[in-house]
């Protein structure tokens, strides 16, 4: 395909993307970050508990232990209650339910996925979110609504951290130990510890020399900053503040910091892609007129569009679906242009629906060969990102700053952001963007941050540097899982993940793993957690009917599933390889372990596969005793 009729030079852009990527790739990959242990352990202390719980250690036996009181753990409990399994304990290290939303209360924290699809169980609770895009406070409030409705507090051990889970073959039970010296025996254990739960810090030279105040965004210190999740950070009035990192979290809190701090320095390594937000209040009448099953239909519709699957209409209609729908032309009543087709194919690759969808349209439009298609996809992405970059020019007054805020990579290389106040914040006279141009800061001193020989003296450093993703499972979980004959999950997965449906792994009977690994990846993360919860409830119901109390993936079924994951992962390798590094592409070390991927067929295909698997009571692939 000839690159004609564009307002940009695609070849020059291609070279620019490559240069921007190359200068960011580091040999140390995930090792550039350090664990928040030892002298950094204070970064993960809970600043939100009003009073530390005092209680005696517990010795107990239950049917199910659920580790994690975030949406995953809450949904698992709710779905178990629905099928009549009430003998469970939820163990949560935080002071209450909420998981991600318990920890991430930074000013401006909000969910960039529409609340009507993001909040699970809306039809059961009757809750009406106030706005199309909710915020952290309302999300926590909603967690409490779910907890109350399903009486989860009665079955919870809060402020309690699991330290180990050990399988006892003789007893046929898991022994769950905690930091409060509890010993709980459980027939089943659900591991729902959250994929982005462990904050990470960059291993910047001198990081421990800093004498000022410091914290991670997921443990916001309101005692220091004043204000709350809606802003008003009066404690920063006379403070010079630095933020390290410019990902989705920083994009939401920087406007509040800019509004309150005496001076704010934003240290940027790679800019995020920032499109418009346009939040709107909920029309309560609209909510009332929805008929039964509306929420499932809506979240399915949303994820279908995100997967490039055809739908009759776009129910959510927002920045996410616009990007996919308008550019990919996947509404049935629209004849897709070549550009849309190309973009559709691109996101199909990104989101997992892959080439099969792209190819359908590819043939329809008689694009001549595969190279043409790949080129078309690239051009369409350039065009979309030119729009995002033009937005920076429109909203940021200073030309040099605007240029530095422009992302030069394909849109889905990193999580796209939608925000109306972030870019204009850089017009404030008390806000400085320190663009490290891919390098990151050089050093932290007792008084501030050094980049290219200049020291920026600050009173406070806020790390908006994200969470561990590519590290060992037990390190992220915070506890080890020891299965049959004491073999640990770290040993089992040392050379890569190995599961059946992402949920079971041989050698770890009666353990259920929640999360996207070798399972579905959805933009609406609560959707896949809910599907996993329904799946769990089904398996435990069938096992009870059959009188089984030991459930384990068969060797053959697990090997076959791993092969499925690997085969499908190959298709995205090229795209990810060209992306600027980040946790989406294992910090640039793509496919080092191709089995460490989500299900490549996309979530809608995965959910259908699981539904079919559940349609009879065979539990094929699981050995029951």
Nearer to ligand NDP, 33 or 174 (CB): 33
Report the nearest approach of ligand NDP to the CB of residue 525 (Å). Answer: 8
Q: Which residues contact 207 (CB under 8 A, 6 or more apart)?
A: 34, 201, 444
Pairing of strands 443-444, 431-435: unpaired
Determine how many CB atoms are found less than 10 A away from the CB of residue 55: 10
Report the nearest approach of ligand NDP to the CB of residue 515 (Å). Answer: 13
Nearer to ligand NDP, 159 or 252 (CB): 252
Helix (H) or strand (E) holding 432: strand 431-435
Report the nearest approach of ligand NDP to the CB of residue 84 (Å). Answer: 33
Report the nearest approach of ligand NDP to the CB of residue 622 (Å). Answer: 31
Nearer to ligand NDP, 525 or 606 (CB): 525
Report the nearest approach of ligand NDP to the CB of residue 586 (Å). Answer: 12
Nearer to ligand NDP, 66 or 244 (CB): 244
Report the nearest approach of ligand NDP to the CB of residue 613 (Å). Answer: 28
Q: Are 213 and 221 in contact (CB under 8 A)?
A: yes
Place of tokens 């350090």: 34
Report the nearest approach of ligand NDP to the CB of residue 366 (Å). Answer: 38
Nearer to ligand NDP, 111 or 497 (CB): 111
Report the nearest approach of ligand NDP to the CB of residue 441 (Å). Answer: 5
Q: Which residues contact 265 (CB under 8 A, 6 or more apart)?
A: 240, 241, 242, 243, 432, 434, 449, 456, 458
Render the burial of 516-552: b for 16+ CB within 10 Å, e for the rest: bbbbbbbbbbbbbbbbbbbbbbbbbebbeeeebbebb
Q: Are 220 and 105 in contact (CB under 8 A)?
A: yes
Helix (H) or strand (E) holding 403: helix 399-404
Range list of H helices, 493-597: 525-545, 555-577
d(CA 471, CA 494) in angstroms, rounded, equals 11
d(CA 329, CA 342) in angstroms, rounded, equals 9
Q: Are 220 and 235 in contact (CB under 8 A)?
A: no
Structure tokens at 211: 């004498």
Nearer to ligand NDP, 246 or 576 (CB): 246
Nearer to ligand NDP, 20 or 63 (CB): 20
Nearer to ligand NDP, 247 or 483 (CB): 247
Report the nearest approach of ligand NDP to the CB of residue 321 (Å). Answer: 15
Beta-ladder partners of 453: none
Query: For 306, which DSSP code?
Result: H
Determine how many CB atoms are found less than 10 A away from the CB of residue 30: 16
Nearer to ligand NDP, 155 or 252 (CB): 252
Task: Tell me which residue of 93, 78, 51, 98 sits closest to 182, measured CA to CA.
Answer: 93
Report the nearest approach of ligand NDP to the CB of residue 439 (Å). Answer: 8
Structure tokens at 98: 């909420």
Nearer to ligand NDP, 97 or 422 (CB): 422
SS3 for 72?
A: helix
Q: Are 240 and 461 in contact (CB under 8 A)?
A: no
Report the nearest approach of ligand NDP to the CB of residue 568 (Å). Answer: 22
Nearer to ligand NDP, 243 or 379 (CB): 243
Report the nearest approach of ligand NDP to the CB of residue 231 (Å). Answer: 16
Structure tokens at 57: 């250690």
Q: Are 469 and 415 in contact (CB under 8 A)?
A: no
Nearer to ligand NDP, 22 or 61 (CB): 22
First-to-final CA distance of the chain: 59
Pairing of strands 431-435, 417-418: unpaired
Q: For binding to ligand NDP (CB under 6 A), which residues are involved?
A: 24, 111-113, 196, 202, 204, 244-250, 252, 267, 269-270, 415, 440-441, 464-467, 582-583
Report the nearest approach of ligand NDP to the CB of residue 249 (Å). Answer: 3
d(CA 479, CA 487) in angstroms, rounded, equals 14
d(CA 247, CA 333) in angstroms, rounded, equals 36
SS3 for 209?
A: helix
Report the nearest approach of ligand NDP to the CB of residue 210 (Å). Answer: 14
Using CA atoms, how far residue 84 sits from 73, 150, 530, in Å, is 17, 12, 17
Report the nearest approach of ligand NDP to the CB of residue 422 (Å). Answer: 12
SS3 for 153?
A: helix
Nearer to ligand NDP, 188 or 467 (CB): 467
Nearer to ligand NDP, 115 or 533 (CB): 115
Nearer to ligand NDP, 360 or 415 (CB): 415
Q: Are 553 and 483 in contact (CB under 8 A)?
A: no
SS3 for 251?
A: helix
């Amino acid at each position: 395909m000839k690159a004609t009729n564009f307002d940009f030079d695609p070849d020059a852009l291609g070279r620019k993307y490559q240069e921007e990527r190359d200068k960011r790739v580091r040999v140390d990959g995930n090792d550039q970050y350090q664990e928040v242990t030892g002298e950094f352990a204070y970064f993960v202390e809970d600043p939100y508990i009003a009073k530390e719980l005092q209680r005696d250690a517990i010795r107990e036996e239950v049917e199910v232990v659920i580790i994690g009181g975030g949406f995953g753990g809450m949904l698992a409990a709710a779905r178990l209650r629905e099928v009549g399994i009430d003998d469970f304990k939820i163990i949560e290290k935080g002071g209450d339910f909420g998981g991600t939303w318990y920890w991430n209360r930074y000013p401006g924290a909000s969910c960039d996925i529409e609340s009507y699809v993001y909040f699970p169980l809306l039809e059961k609770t009757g809750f009406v979110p106030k706005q199309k895009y909710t915020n952290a406070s309302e999300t926590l409030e909603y967690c409490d609504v779910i907890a109350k409705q399903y009486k989860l507090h009665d079955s919870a051990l809060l402020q309690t951290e699991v330290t180990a889970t050990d399988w006892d073959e003789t007893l046929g039970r898991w022994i769950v130990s905690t930091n409060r010296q509890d010993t709980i025996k459980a027939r089943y254990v659900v591991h729902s510890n959250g994929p982005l739960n462990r904050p990470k810090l960059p291993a910047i030279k001198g990081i421990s020399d800093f004498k000022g105040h410091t914290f991670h965004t997921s443990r916001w210190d309101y005692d220091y900053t004043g204000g709350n999740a809606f802003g008003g950070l009066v404690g920063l009035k006379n403070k010079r503040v630095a933020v390290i990192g410019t990902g989705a979290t920083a994009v939401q809190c920087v406007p509040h910091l800019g509004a309150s701090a005496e001076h704010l320095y934003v240290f940027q390594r790679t800019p995020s892609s920032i499109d418009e937000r346009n939040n709107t209040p909920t029309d309560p009448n609209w909510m009332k007129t929805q008929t039964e099953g509306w929420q499932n239909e809506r979240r399915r519709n949303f994820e279908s569009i995100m997967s490039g699957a055809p739908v009759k209409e776009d129910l959510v209609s927002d920045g996410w679906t616009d990007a996919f729908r308008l550019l990919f032309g996947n509404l049935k009543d629209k004849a897709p242009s070549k550009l849309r087709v190309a973009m559709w194919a691109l996101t199909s690759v990104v989101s997992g629906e892959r080439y099969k969808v792209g190819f359908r349209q590819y043939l329809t439009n008689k694009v001549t060969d595969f190279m043409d298609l790949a080129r078309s996809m690239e051009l369409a992405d350039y065009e979309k990102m030119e729009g995002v970059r033009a937005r920076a020019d429109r909203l940021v007054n200073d030309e040099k700053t605007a240029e530095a805020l422009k992302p030069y990579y394909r849109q889905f290389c990193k999580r796209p952001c939608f925000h109306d106040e972030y870019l204009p914040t850089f017009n404030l006279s008390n806000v400085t963007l320190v663009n490290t141009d891919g390098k990151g800061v050089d050093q932290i001193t007792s008084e501030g941050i050094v980049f290219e020989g200049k020291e920026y003296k600050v009173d406070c450093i806020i790390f908006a540097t994200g969470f561990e993703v590519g590290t060992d499972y037990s390190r992220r979980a915070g506890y080890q899982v020891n299965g049959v004959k004491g073999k640990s999950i770290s040993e089992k997965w040392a050379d890569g993940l190995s599961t059946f449906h992402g949920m079971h792994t041989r050698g770890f009977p009666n353990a259920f793993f929640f999360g996207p690994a070798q399972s579905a990846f959805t933009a609406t993360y609560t959707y896949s957690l809910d599907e996993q919860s329904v799946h769990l409830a089904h398996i435990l119901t069938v096992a009870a009917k059959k009188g089984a109390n030991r459930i384990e993936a068969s060797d053959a079924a697990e090997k076959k599933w791993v092969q499925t994951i690997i085969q499908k992962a190959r298709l995205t390798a090229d795209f990810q390889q060209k992306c600027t590094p980040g946790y989406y592409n294992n910090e640039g070390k793509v496919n080092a372990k191709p089995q460490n991927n989500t299900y490549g067929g996309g979530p809608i295909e995965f959910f259908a596969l699981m539904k079919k698997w559940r349609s009879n009571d065979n539990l094929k692939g699981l050995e029951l005793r």
